[in-house]
Structure formats: structure tokens, C-alpha cells
């Protein structure tokens, strides 16, 4: 077998960084007894001299603007499980490597040739996580643990064959092995620094001194014994919850975080070959939550287009309390069949419907509608409101204008009658109590506009009913 491991060396701080609208120095801290120490820091904090293991008091003295955050290991694990779905686009099995956390391993023995080999898969995955704003290191080896250790050591560690790996793994530093801290100290005290130094020790002696787990670890690392691991399954829902690094009270403070969440969820939809017809957004407040829904004319997984729709939907609805977290879910999922563009007017229809969707998001679903013909003689009853894009089985009348007045407007004087072949007589409506008897014709005004007028056959009066374009 052949495994490709993905190691995320700064996952915790990357997840914070990608939600911040502006770059600020950030560090993750972890409690060590009664003292907190820095675990990870972003590039701005590193440039200011912040280093892992530094006490928080010293770090703040060095950089007073440093933002300290507690590590959210559960949140990191949730992201790893979501990203496993992205890795399934390149191989049949994805496993979690808890001893090398945070890391995933992808089995690609039979699928690498579909992507220009293992290096092709590695390039695609590096680019994918770069676009998501997350640092990743890649390692390739015949065992999942070996691939993970190569990924931790460097970004281009690669060994294809098992025979070569069983020789190369002996040069790995013992410091990379996932060992208990006490075992690590004992090995360092003995002056042992490389795996080859452990390999030459008889297994019985190694087991007696350090327990059987060390020898078992070495055998799994070298591929001498199997290393079965449960495959990660697809999440049943395409949804994501994130804690905001800073409380937001309006759309500008929410936009950057929502954009990142949309990117993640749309990438999951792409891997599933799906799109969403509707989205639901929950804003978590100190007390309670606010829920918003977004319905689309047709399924979408375009993160930037969806962000523009959410902006139109939310920027006029300020929150009454600070927003601490958000949860976004894609609902009403369907298979994605793509959209084929026309040859001569490429993108024009898509731009039109994108504009319609923005209007609906800003004004409300019920305020934007299409018009469809109805089989009815009376002009004011020959149309109906429909959802945008809905196709009607009825047909229109090219002789009638599209612009009708809300109610016919009486004209003050009689008009010259046109030739009989230019009249359209409409009679009917007795069945619903709104009977009409009219002769319609086209009248051109002195300013050149074309009007649609009629003569009421009962009263003899003339009325203006519409305009032609």
C-alpha cells in the first residue's frame, strides 16, 4: 500500500487567522500546571519575537497587542473530519492519525495514476489547503505512520517502495516518534537519537526495558505488522459552526468569517458532486440566536456568489446583541449537473439570474416575481405572478402591450375610429360578474409613443389601458 499524510503544523492558529478580517498577532496558549505558555503563533507574532514555550506574561511584555486564545482541540478535530471528505476525492480510504495530531492519511495505491502520480496528488492537496488559508505538510510512505512522520519532518518526504522504506525509516530521529514523555526522556538519557539505534536492540530486551508498545510501534512504522485503522465517514450534513475570534455586531464584522465558512462548505459540496437549493444561517448571541434562510432559484455551490447574496440579505438587519458564533448549513441538496453556457452570449444569462437572486435576497422572496400568461380574453386577467424563471404552458399575445395601467384611464374626448381590420373586439366575463365589451386599437400620440386604447361598447367612452415599448 501507499499512503499520503497531511500534517497541519499550525492548525489551531490558522483557523483563527482565517476568520480575522484584518491581520493581528495571535498566539494559542495551553495551561501547564498553574502557568500558561504559548503553543503556536501566527507570522506577525513570530516576527515580533514570540516563540513556543514562552510564558504568557513574557509574551505580553514583549508584544502588548498580542491576542491570546485558548486552543480548541475539539474544533480542530471537527475540521479534520470535514477535510477528510475533501481527501476522498483522491483515494478510497482516509484515516485519522491521533498519535500525530493534527494529521490525516490518504491511501492512494490504486488512484494516484488518475492525478499524474503521487506528486500530482500532493500538488493538488497543497493548492487546495493553500486556498483555504491553512498550512499543510505532505509525506508519502508505504505505511500511514511513516507518511505522517515524514510530513512532520519536511514538506517533501517521499518513499514509494516498502523495501526502500524499511531502510530509510531507520534514519528517522526518535524525537519524531509518538512516545510517552517519560519514554522519550529515558531514550535521550541513553544517548539514543535515531530509530536505527532502537532497531538493533533485541526485542525482548527492548520490551523488558520500555514495554511491548515500543517494539509494536517500530513494527507498524516499518510495515512489518499491519496497521489497520477505521476509515473516516462522510458527515451526514453539510454544515459548520465556528466561534468568532472577536464579537461582531454588524455585517462587516461577520463577512470575513462567513466567507471562509462558505468556501469550506462549497468545497465539500464539490467533492460530493452536489449543490444546495437553500441555506440556513444561525447567529449565536449571548442569549439565544437569530436564524436566517436563503432560497435560490437553482442549486448553487459558488461561494463568492452566495456571499454576495448573504450580504444583500443581512446588511440591512443589524443584530441587537454581539454575535459570538455562527452556524451555516446547506439544505435541500441536489446532484450538481453544471451549467452550460451559450456560444455567443456566454455568461449573460448567469449574470441576469445572479442579479435576480440579489434582488430577492435584499427585498425578500415575495417581492420579486416573474409574469406568465393565462388563457383569458380580458387583458387585466390574462397574466399571473410566478416565481422567477418558472415556465408557463400558456402563450402570449404579440398584439398586446406588456405595460398595462393598474386601471383603465378615461380619455376626455372621442377619438377617430380606426379601420375595422385594426380593431380587436373583446367580449366576455358574464360568468364571474365582470362582463366587458370593448374594441381595442393602437393610437400614436404626437410625441411618438404608442398607446393601447379601447372604446367601451356599452358607454361609448374611450379609455387608455396600456403602452407599447
Pair (83, 11) in one structural domain:
yes
pLDDT 10s digits, 358-405? 777 677 666 777 778 887 888 888 878 777 767 666 565 667 888 889
156 falls within a domain: yes
Closest CA to 14 of 131, 121, 171: 131
pLDDT 10s digits, 100-125? 999 999 999 888 888 888 999 999 99
Question: Interhelix angle for 203-210 vs 181-189, to 10°?
Answer: 120
362 falls within a domain: no
Pair (248, 290) in one structural domain:
yes
Pair (265, 204) in one structural domain:
no
Pair (7, 97) in one structural domain:
yes
Among 195, 222, 249, give the residue marking a domain's end.
222
pLDDT 10s digits, 286-318? 888 999 998 887 888 999 989 988 988 887 776
126 falls within a domain: yes
38 falls within a domain: no
Pair (202, 301) in one structural domain:
no
For the whole model, what pTM was predicted?
0.72
CATH code (residue 316): 3.30.1490.100
Among 163, 187, 222, give the residue marking a domain's end.
222
374 falls within a domain: no
309 falls within a domain: yes
CATH code (residue 195): 3.30.70
Pair (248, 202) in one structural domain:
no
Pair (455, 330) in one structural domain:
no
Say how many domains are in the chain: 3
436 falls within a domain: yes
Pair (178, 80) in one structural domain:
yes
Pair (18, 133) in one structural domain:
yes
CB 166 within 8 A of CB 21: no
What percent of the chain is predicted at pLDDT more than 70? Answer: 91
| Structural domain harbouring 287 | 241-340
213 falls within a domain: yes
Amino acid at each position: 500500500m501507499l499512503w499520503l499524510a497531511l500534517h497541519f503544523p499550525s492548525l489551531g492558529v490558522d483557523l483563527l487567522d482565517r476568520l480575522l478580517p484584518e491581520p493581528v498577532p495571535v498566539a494559542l496558549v495551553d495551561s501547564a500546571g498553574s502557568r500558561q505558555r504559548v503553543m503556536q503563533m501566527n507570522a506577525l507574532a513570530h516576527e515580533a519575537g514570540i516563540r513556543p514555550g514562552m510564558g504568557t506574561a513574557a509574551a505580553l511584555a514583549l508584544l502588548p497587542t498580542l491576542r491570546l486564545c485558548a486552543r480548541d482541540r475539539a474544533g480542530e478535530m471537527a475540521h479534520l473530519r470535514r477535510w477528510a471528505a475533501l481527501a476522498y476525492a483522491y483515494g478510497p480510504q482516509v484515516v485519522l492519525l491521533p498519535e500525530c495530531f493534527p494529521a490525516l492519511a490518504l491511501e492512494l495505491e490504486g488512484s494516484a495514476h488518475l492525478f499524474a502520480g503521487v506528486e500530482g496528488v500532493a500538488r493538488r492537496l497543497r493548492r487546495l489547503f493553500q486556498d483555504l488559508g491553512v498550512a499543510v505538510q505532505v509525506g508519502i510512505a508505504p505505511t500511514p505512520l511513516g507518511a505522517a512522520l515524514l510530513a512532520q519532518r519536511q514538506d517533501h518526504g517521499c518513499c514509494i517502495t516498502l523495501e526502500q522504506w524499511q531502510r530509510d525509516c531507520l534514519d528517522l530521529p526518535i524525537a519524531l516518534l509518538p512516545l510517552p514523555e517519560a519514554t522519550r526522556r529515558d531514550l535521550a538519557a541513553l544517548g539514543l537519537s535515531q530509530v536505527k539505534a532502537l532497531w538493533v536492540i533485541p526485542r525482548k530486551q527492548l520490551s523488558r526495558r520500555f514495554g511491548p508498545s515500543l517494539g509494536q510501534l517500530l513494527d507498524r512504522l516499518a510495515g512489518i505488522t499491519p496497521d489497520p485503522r477505521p476509515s473516516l465517514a462522510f458527515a451526514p450534513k453539510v454544515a459548520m459552526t465556528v466561534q468568532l475570534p472577536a464579537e461582531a455586531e454588524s455585517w462587516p464584522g461577520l463577512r470575513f468569517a462567513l466567507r471562509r465558512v462558505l468556501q469550506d462548505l462549497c468545497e465539500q459540496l464539490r467533492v460530493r458532486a452536489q449543490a444546495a437549493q437553500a441555506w440556513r444561517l444561525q447567529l449565536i448571541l449571548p442569549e439565544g440566536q437569530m436564524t436566517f434562510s436563503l432560497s435560490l432559484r437553482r442549486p448553487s455551490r459558488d461561494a463568492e456568489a452566495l456571499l454576495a447574496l448573504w450580504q444583500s440579505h443581512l446588511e440591512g438587519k443589524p443584530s441587537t446583541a454581539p454575535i459570538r458564533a455562527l452556524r451555516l448549513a446547506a439544505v435541500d441538496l441536489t446532484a450538481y449537473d453544471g451549467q452550460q453556457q451559450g456560444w455567443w452570449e456566454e455568461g449573460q444569462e448567469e449574470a441576469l439570474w445572479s442579479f435576480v437572486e440579489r434582488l430577492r435576497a435584499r427585498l425578500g422572496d415575495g417581492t420579486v416575481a416573474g409574469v406568465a400568461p393565462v388563457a383569458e380574453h380580458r387583458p387585466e386577467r390574462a397574466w399571473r405572478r410566478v416565481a422567477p424563471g418558472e415556465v408557463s404552458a400558456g402563450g402570449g399575445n404579440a398584439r398586446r402591450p406588456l405595460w398595462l395601467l393598474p386601471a383603465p384611464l378615461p380619455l376626455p374626448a372621442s377619438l377617430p375610429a380606426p379601420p375595422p381590420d385594426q380593431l380587436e373586439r373583446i367580449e366576455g366575463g358574464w360568468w364571474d360578474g365582470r362582463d366587458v365589451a370593448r374594441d381595442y386599437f393602437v393610437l400614436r400620440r404626437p410625441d411618438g409613443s404608442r398607446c393601447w386604447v379601447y372604446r367601451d361598447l356599452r358607454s361609448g367612452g374611450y379609455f387608455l389601458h396600456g403602452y407599447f415599448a
